[in-house]
Amino acid sequence: MGRIEEILLILAVGLLFFGPNKMVDFAKGLGTAMREFKKAANPDDPANHTVSTPVAPAPAALPAEAAKPAETKGNSVVS
């Protein structure tokens, strides 16, 4: 058996045992782990440094009650 057949057999058995959803999660975790390992192995590599810009949250819409001004009677507020 060649290497490709062995890898395909392992993937097929893993798919039978864990199902497609767990296999996707496993692949994501493996990719993240490999990326973190690369960063740790070459800390001076400029390709490993990513600059993330923070995204400002969207302004929240006010409910209809809060948008209306409150009526006042004397010292108490009536809505």
For the chain, domain boundaries: 1-46
Grade residue 29 by pLDDT with cuts at 50, 70 and 90. Answer: very high
Cα-based angle 9, 15, 18 (whole degrees, multiple of 5)? 135
pTM (global) more than 0.85 = no
Grade residue 66 by pLDDT with cuts at 50, 70 and 90. Answer: low
Q: Are 72 and 58 in contact (CB under 8 A)?
A: no
Grade residue 14 by pLDDT with cuts at 50, 70 and 90. Answer: confident
Tokens of 12: 């097929």
